Amino acid sequence: MRVIANSTGMREVVRRMQRAARADCPVVLWGEEGSGKRFVAEQIHRHSRRSGGPLIVVRLPSPFLFPKERACQLEDELLFGSPEHPGRLAEAAGGTLLVDEITRLSPTTQAKLLAPAEGRGVFTGNGAFTQTLDFRLMATTRFELAECVKRGMLREDLYYRIGAVVIRVPPLRERRDDLAELIEEWLVPLSAERGLAVPAVEPDFVQAAVEYSWPGNVAQLRELLAAMLSAGGGYPLSGHGFRRALAGTGKCTPGTQAFPQVVPLESLERAAVLHALEVHEGNRTQAAKSLGISVRTLQRKLRRWQVGSDG
């Protein structure tokens, strides 16, 4: 995939990408979920002096799924390794380590990451430093970096270490000039995956895409095109098909109605609770308030699901 940058916002991203690729300092990419932060990171790595090395992506589990001590242990094992397995830091030697949603890391693990990010080696549990690892640190977050520090999601010392190069990846609704080419670009591999010829794209399809707000960003565009190809078998993409596909995925434009697949109520409730905890960074009082339930009710549900409890 190539970078599509007809829009003003993406032209600025490309300019910053090119500068970041020539340097070797940490990079932070921030933007909405699904906006393409990982793709931008891949492009920076691909055009950097580390392109011959690995790009190791660390996808952290939600910290609210585990008791605090267990979450820290999992982070340690994932990043720094265990006697049985090397950590992602060791695997990234000579290349790039990309930490997805770095604000999910506990403050303790963030402190441990500070030393290797500064080239001072890897901190071990016995208080010693192992060998220095040559790697580049990149990270993503959904929030502006200074806001992360203000909200206590990111340590201030780590902020100063990784915040030299910060790139905002704009949401798809700010990239309307890119949509026509993005559609053409995605249709080629998606059609090949299904053994189909690339379908024609009618003007009203592009117009409907331009007028839509795309809450799921580039990831949603790819999902929608894949669904239309699977359902249409190579027929031209039209505005009517666009609206019908949105209804089928449960993401509607005004005036349309979705008929999503029925899922158990318990699953929806659990997902809503975990999302509220994610939004409010684990604050149960705020999460309960946003859900319209009492803190006691929230705690009872978490105990029933065995989420975030040491017992």
Report yes or no: 244 and 254 within 8 Å, Cβ to Cβ.
no
The first and second tokens of residue 107, run together, are: 């403050």
Q: What is the pLDDT of residue 253?
A: 43
pLDDT tens readout for residues 157-182: 999 999 889 999 999 999 999 999 99
Q: What is the pLDDT of residue 127?
A: 45
| CA proximity to 280, closest of 298, 300, 265 | 298
Are 54 and 120 found together in one domain? Answer: yes
Local structure of residue 104 (DSSP, 8 states): G
β partners of residue 123 = 129
Are 163 and 62 found together in one domain? Answer: yes
Last residue of some domain: 170, 204, 222? Answer: 170
Last residue of some domain: 223, 249, 275? Answer: 249
Q: Which residues contact 105 (CB under 8 A, 6 or more apart)?
A: 60, 75, 99, 113
Q: What is the pLDDT of residue 311?
A: 42
Are 18 and 149 found together in one domain? Answer: yes
Element containing residue 284 per DSSP (H, E):
helix 284-291
Q: What is the pLDDT of residue 7?
A: 95
Q: What is the pLDDT of residue 288?
A: 87
The first and second tokens of residue 114, run together, are: 């500070």
| 37-46 helix and 8-22 helix, angle to the nearest 10 degrees | 40
Q: What is the pLDDT of residue 78?
A: 86
Q: What is the pLDDT of residue 249?
A: 59
The CA angle 310-285-102, to the nearest 5 degrees, is 65
Are 162 and 30 found together in one domain? Answer: yes
Report yes or no: 6 and 180 within 8 Å, Cβ to Cβ.
no
Are 101 and 127 found together in one domain? Answer: yes
How many structural domains compose the chain? Answer: 3
Residue 259 lies in a domain: no
Q: What is the pLDDT of residue 48?
A: 95
Are 55 and 111 found together in one domain? Answer: yes
Sheet containing 136-141, strands listed edge to edge, beginning at the edge strand earlier in sequence: 55-59, 96-100, 136-141, 27-30, 165-168
Distance of CA 157 to the CA centre of its chain: 23
Question: Which residues of the chain, if any, have pLDDT below 50?
Answer: 125-128, 252-262, 310-311
Are 27 and 49 found together in one domain? Answer: yes
Residue 310 lies in a domain: no
Are 228 and 159 found together in one domain? Answer: no
Are 158 and 94 found together in one domain? Answer: yes
Q: Residue 199 sits in a domain of what CATH number?
A: 1.10.8.60
Q: How many CB atoms lie within 10 A of CB 108?
A: 14
Alpha-carbon gap, residue 197 to 303, rounded angstroms: 51
Residue 254 lies in a domain: no
| CA proximity to 119, closest of 102, 106, 132, 104 | 132
Q: What is the pLDDT of residue 121?
A: 62
Tokens 């009082």 belong to: 285
Helices and strands (DSSP H and E) totals, the chain: 14, 5
| Structural domain of 209 | 175-249
